[in-house]
Chains A and B, each alone.
Chain A
């Protein structure tokens, strides 16, 4: 059994927030949804969590879905322990099981020593880990995390992703949204969103191989289809033609996302 969205359209008044979006995540799989500000990441997360109505398409979600909102969902005036106990109570997790589960989550997140600390006094990294732990308390089959790594420093990001990876290895389906393409490299599946549309989706290998045409390196810009990567430019050639003596370069996800955005912008 897998979870996700099929050709989902979500509309707010005159605004189309998601348009024909499909996503499929199986047990033990992690899907990363990449997009900028306003791409539809939060709407997609809320839809998967059952918090938005869809105008078209359908949502496949299990009864037990864990959802961490973009704000992390941590209550500032409760301690780490109180936050976890409150969520356990809300999900009516049986007391004996809840306490074992809380201990285990405190251990994995290294939040044990901070269990009496108020939510407002946590660092960004601790706060996000607590948010994920809260979303995991009900032992969900589907875990949805909305931008858990935004604003985190590299060390906290690594720890958070290690925790997310372990949650997936326990057999959960995990969906994580982010503005950062490099985070997709940690997952099996990627969905690139722009303005409510899907620019690219599938397994990471599929997305890499589905790039239309080729990309090559150049020491100068070549029109609207080129962009800078470090000291050189990358040029997208949609019809796969190459200047003489030039070979195509090996593309990564960042290239694919840029090409997809350029293709949509230039109508190419």
Chain B
């Protein structure tokens, strides 16, 4: 069953079309990633799905009903700013969230928060604060979770833990939409929706999206002059420890700029490179 359903969602701000004819679904138990550069329309899309702003046209449905009519208890949301009270303790924050929805307190043990129960949220490291926000958003057992960059600024192990919680929540049948700026996190998602300039430009699994896309690799030194020519021609230069890679230009174009053609070859594109080529 489709828990989140965006159909031709469009939102204009004056003359600017921030979200342009966006359609996708998130089904039960699915983790769907929403990716895009700043200004691509991710946050506006999420805000329409949450019923925080109205679409100019199109519809946002949650559990089969219009988001404007749906019982708010069906949805959980973790904003980028977390929405916690820094002056309150972990327990107090969770009690407040539970009371607001009229449900029982979540188990601190199950959330891995027992050790920090009485600490003020404002004093906790970011990774733990994000765990508290995640627990607060799920206190009322929502069917749909919307997470806006849930792991931003969290260290490697904290990130593994948060993703573990995201996956086990999905296994309970919750549909999860998560925005991220990190390509390796896209691989944690069952499917990914790539947005650029307000539109969905690609959707599917990471390997679907990369498909047979290619980049051009340059071996050896890249001078400032070569970097400038690549940029002026509309290409994007990516640094890799072994070599430089160019997105947005063909092999003939890059060959004509380097001193020796032997240094240039076509290689399979990475997901990040595919993302860049869609966003240019």
Contact = CB atoms under 8 A, between A and B. Distances in A.
Interface of A: 30, 34-39, 104, 107-108, 110, 123-125, 150-159, 161-162, 164-166, 169-170, 179-182, 185-188, 192, 194, 204, 227-231, 254, 257-258, 261-262
Given A153-B181, A181-B184, A228-B167, A165 B239 contact: yes
A153 B154 contact: no
Nearest to A110: B231
Contact of B227 (A108, A156, A157, A254): A108
Given A36-B127, A153-B38, A165-B244, 9 more contacts: A108-B227, A151-B152, A153-B40, A154-B279, A155-B275, A166-B224, A186-B241, A227-B164, A257-B156
Interface of B: 35-38, 40, 125-127, 152-158, 160, 163-164, 167, 181-184, 187-188, 190, 221-224, 227-228, 231, 236-241, 244, 272, 275-276, 279
A100 B23 CA distance: 50
A34 to B, nearest CB: 7
A187 B37 contact: no
B187 A35 contact: no
Contact of A186 (B36, B187, B222, B240): B240
State the 6 A-B residue pairs at the shortest beta-carbon distance, nearest first: A36-B155, A165-B239, A261-B157, A37-B126, A155-B37, A153-B38
A227 B160 contact: yes
Contact of A257 (B35, B36, B157, B231): B157
Nearest to A149: B181
A192 to B, nearest CB: 8
B239 A38 contact: no
Which of the listed residues A30, A37, A150, A182 has the most CB atoms from chain B within 10 Å of its own CB? A37
B222 to A, nearest CB: 6
Nearest to B221: A169
Which of the listed residues B127, B157, B227, B275 has the most CB atoms from chain A within 10 Å of its own CB? B157
